[in-house]
């Protein structure tokens, strides 16, 4: 009934028009207009597909003049030699934390500046720093003040200079925001505990019924939780014109990584993201989210994709089939949105986990996982030292001083990672492309595609201990009949016929295949079957 009425009304309108007044036909879109702009938007978004490098400031580069700042490491702090390795310590009752949290190696913001050229040459797009705000520990997740910078790491002038160096190298700078909890030496917390009538009293959850007399993150005495239900807390951290989130942009940062983001809640995360965008358009707010990314991606620009990490690990162990991993990624794309996933960090290790080499002592496994990390949709996160093949167990062992002697092309770990970074840089589909899983029996197979046929990439992985051969249907109509695909890691060429390809994948191997696009034929004859394909 509604459709008929609408049609009848339209007929009456047309009948009432003279020949000159009748609507002109809508012209067919030009080729340029017909092409979607979503890929151009992705190309222009520095956050999408960015190779991100995480730095634990104290452990990255030795200070140029350590003697000049030795007084900053007075007891109970401990200053270590760069050759020392971190190990589990003992409690320090007067400080309320452990000796390994008070052990320093002396790295700072100025020393990082000496390696900006190294990071640029490696192919890094984004530098992410663990917390640098004022705190007694080496990790700084126990802030005393959100508005001050820890003197061991430098000054705001040093931060601004580092940001300028990073920007000159066409990279971006992200810092860690730890807004769920503070350290118990925070002036806010001390005032709240000392006076029941303090303006800060309801900034924390205090009471005799709680362990330690207040709520601490995971019950840890040194980490009293902020009460975000108190409007003044959110105002000071987010909403005020000079809020914590806003004021750090004055020093040149390009965004925030939010610690334990899930405990802040959707509304607060959305407010932080909005405030960051107001201060710097196009900035990045990414959350530490160990949960499924759906819903969280509605409040944040991106997440640390721990669920994908877990699925990659289980796939490598043979607990998950290739077909299932492909389905999982498609489900994530559908539930969380592709653009958000393309901004989200794909990590294999970080400061809270054992290092990749310790998790996977077999180089074959590490190479397999890193190839997936650089081809699945997302932004690869590299924990400092992975290129040097550093090892280390759980915190604090995973936070060792950078091994600069092994951070060179002579190291197979470095060479492999550099190859993947370069391949990603010269292959737009791996950074901005859509994800399309292919139906398989045992293999993982997927396409990464953009609006240009020449950028298509086919990825095929085998997690078995034996070679696997399968016949794939290539679900991409712009790839012409008889196309040959070249393995970007080995140079092997595999031919397809009518969008069908039989491929053999060696054990624990990822093939990254790009079409040769009939180049030899075109150079020889001048004819290209792609002549009218965008």
Note if 168 is an active site residue: no
Asked whether the bond before 396 is cis by omega within 30 degrees of 0, the reply is: yes
Cα gap 229→467, rounded to integer Å: 56
Tell me if 386 sits within 8 A of 356, measured CB to CB: yes
Note if 263 is an active site residue: no
Reported in sequence order, the residue ranges of 422-487 that DSSP labels E, i.e. its strands, are 434-437, 444-449, 457-462, 468-473, 484-487
- Matching residue, tokens 């007694």: 136
Cα gap 60→109, rounded to integer Å: 10
Structure tokens at 409: 């092309």
SS3 of residue 105 by DSSP: coil
- Matching residue, tokens 């934390």: 97
Cβ neighbours for 286, distance < 8 A, ≥ 6 positions apart: 174, 255, 256, 257, 258, 300, 301, 302, 303, 304, 343, 344, 345
Q: Which of 259, 434, 455, 484 is catalytic?
A: 259
Cα gap 174→152, rounded to integer Å: 19
**CA distance readout (Å), 124 to 62, 246, 472:** 21, 26, 34
Give the CA count within 13 Å in the CB-facing half-sphere of 420. 25
Cα gap 297→528, rounded to integer Å: 43
Number of continuous H segments (helices) and E segments (strands) in the chain: 18, 22
**CA distance readout (Å), 462 to 70, 115, 296:** 52, 37, 32
Cα gap 64→178, rounded to integer Å: 28
Cα gap 352→359, rounded to integer Å: 13
Per-residue HEC secondary structure of 304-372 comes to ECHHHHHHHHHHHCCCCCHHHHHHHHHHHHHHHCHHHHHHCEEECCCCCCCCHHHHCCCHHHHHHHHHH
Q: Which of 101, 158, 176, 288 is catalytic?
A: 288
Residues tagged active-site: 259, 288
């Amino acid at each position: 009934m509604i459709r008929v009425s609408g049609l009848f009304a339209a007929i009456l309108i047309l009948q009432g028009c003279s020949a000159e007044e009748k609507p002109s036909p809508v012209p067919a879109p030009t080729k340029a207009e017909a092409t979607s702009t979503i890929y151009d938007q992705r190309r222009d978004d520095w956050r999408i597909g960015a190779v991100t490098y995480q730095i634990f400031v104290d452990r990255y580069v030795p200070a140029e003049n350590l003697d000049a700042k030795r007084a900053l490491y007075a007891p109970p702090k401990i200053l270590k030699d760069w050759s020392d390795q971190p190990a589990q310590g003992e409690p320090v009752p007067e400080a309320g934390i452990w000796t390994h949290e008070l052990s320093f190696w002396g790295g700072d913001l100025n020393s990082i500046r000496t390696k900006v050229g190294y990071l640029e040459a490696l192919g890094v797009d984004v530098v992410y720093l663990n917390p640098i705000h004022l705190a007694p520990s080496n990790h700084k997740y126990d802030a005393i003040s959100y508005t001050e910078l820890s003197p061991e790491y430098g000054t705001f002038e040093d931060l601004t200079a580092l940001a300028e160096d990073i920007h000159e190298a066409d990279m971006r700078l992200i810092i860690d925001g730890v807004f769920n909890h503070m350290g118990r030496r925070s002036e806010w917390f001390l005032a709240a505990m000392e006076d029941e009538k303090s303006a800060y009293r309801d900034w924390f959850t205090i009471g005799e019924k709680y362990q330690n007399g207040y709520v601490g993150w995971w019950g840890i005495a040194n980490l009293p939780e902020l009460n975000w239900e108190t409007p003044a807390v959110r105002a000071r951290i987010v909403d005020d014109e000079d809020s914590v989130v806003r004021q750090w942009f004055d020093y040149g940062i390009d965004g925030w990584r939010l610690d334990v983001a899930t405990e802040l809640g959707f509304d607060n995360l959305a407010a932080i993201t909005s405030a960051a965008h107001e201060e710097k358009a196009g900035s990045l707010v990414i959350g530490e989210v160990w949960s499924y990314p759906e819903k969280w991606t509605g409040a944040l620009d991106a997440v640390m994709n721990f669920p994908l990490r877990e699925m990659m690990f289980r796939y490598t162990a043979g607990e998950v089939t290739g077909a299932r991993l492909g389905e999982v990624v498609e489900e994530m794309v559908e539930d969380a949105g592709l653009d958000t996933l393309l901004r989200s960090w794909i990590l294999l290790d970080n400061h809270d986990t054992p290092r990749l080499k310790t998790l996977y002592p077999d180089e074959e496994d590490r190479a397999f996982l890193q190839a997936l990390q650089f081809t699945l949709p997302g932004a690869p996160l590299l924990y400092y030292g992975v290129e040097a093949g550093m090892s280390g167990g759980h915190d604090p062992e995973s936070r060792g001083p950078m091994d600069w002697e092994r951070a060179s092309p002579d190291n197979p770990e470095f060479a492999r990672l550099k190859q993947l970074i370069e391949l990603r840089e010269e292959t737009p589909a791996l950074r901005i492309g859509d994800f399309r899983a292919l139906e398989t029996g045992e293999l993982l197979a997927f396409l990464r595609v953009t609006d240009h046929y020449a950028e298509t990439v086919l990825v095929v992985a085998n997690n078995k201990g034996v070679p696997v051969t399968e016949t794939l249907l290539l679900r991409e109509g712009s790839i012409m009949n008889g196309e040959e695909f070249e393995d970007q890691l080995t140079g092997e060429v595999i031919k397809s016929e009518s969008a069908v390809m039989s491929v053999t994948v060696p054990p624990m191997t990822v093939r990254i295949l790009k079409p040769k696009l009939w180049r030899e034929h075109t150079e020889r004859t001048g004819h290209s079957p792609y002549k009218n394909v965008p």
